[in-house]
Amino acid sequence: MSVAVTAPAGMNESLLRRIFVEAEAIWKPVGITFDWHLLASTETPRPWQLALTIENPHDRLSAWQEPLGWISFASGSPDCRIHLSQASAEELVRDTPTALDIMFSVHERLIGRALGRAFSHELGHYILKSKGHTSQGLMRATWPSEQLLSTDRSGFELSPEQREIATRHLLQR
């Protein structure tokens, strides 16, 4: 899957890699691989690409209650643009008691993990062509912050039924 990525100027390349690695690990069991294309701010995604925009953490005064990621739907169909909020991920890490007093490298790892998982969830909406959420797994509406930041990826997978739907939709593409 080709993904055109627009990131804030000066965003650490290692943070981007962490986001990509997390998404790749979550979607690999479904058979999805990614071809990431980092765009300059003046470039636009190709019509056949999924567009990922990582919002600049300084564009908003407060990320309070802003989701980690979102995708829009029009007439019941998902848009091909996914947005992630670095500011919301930063706030999540700040508000997680076990993430206090961590080194910068660990902080970046947590931000990358959270945003990679948020991207994977929004990609699930796109691939499944559904706004729906489940009570568990990748498509649940919310996760406890401890689970979202954990090194353990259990709980971030598609159900067998969702995998079947995803495979069917991807074959139609």
Q: Phi/psi at 22 (nearest 5 deg)?
A: -65, -45
Does residue 37 contact residue 67 with C-beta atoms inside 8 Å? Answer: no
Taking only the tens place, the pLDDT of each residue in 77-113 is 999 999 999 999 988 888 887 766 676 668 899 999 9
Find the domain containing 127 and state its range: 2-172
3-class DSSP state for residue 66?
coil
Total number of domains in the chain: 1
Residue 120 is part of a domain; what is its CATH number? 3.40.390.10
Taking only the tens place, the pLDDT of each residue in 39-76 is 987 899 999 999 999 987 765 555 456 899 999 999 99
Q: What's this model's pTM, rounded to 2 decimal places?
A: 0.90
Q: Whole-angstrom Cα distance, residue 38 to residue 139?
A: 26
Smallest CA-to-CA distance from 81 within 111, 109, 123 is with 123
- Written as six digits, the tokens of 32 are 């999805």
CA angle 138/155/152 to nearest 5° reads: 125
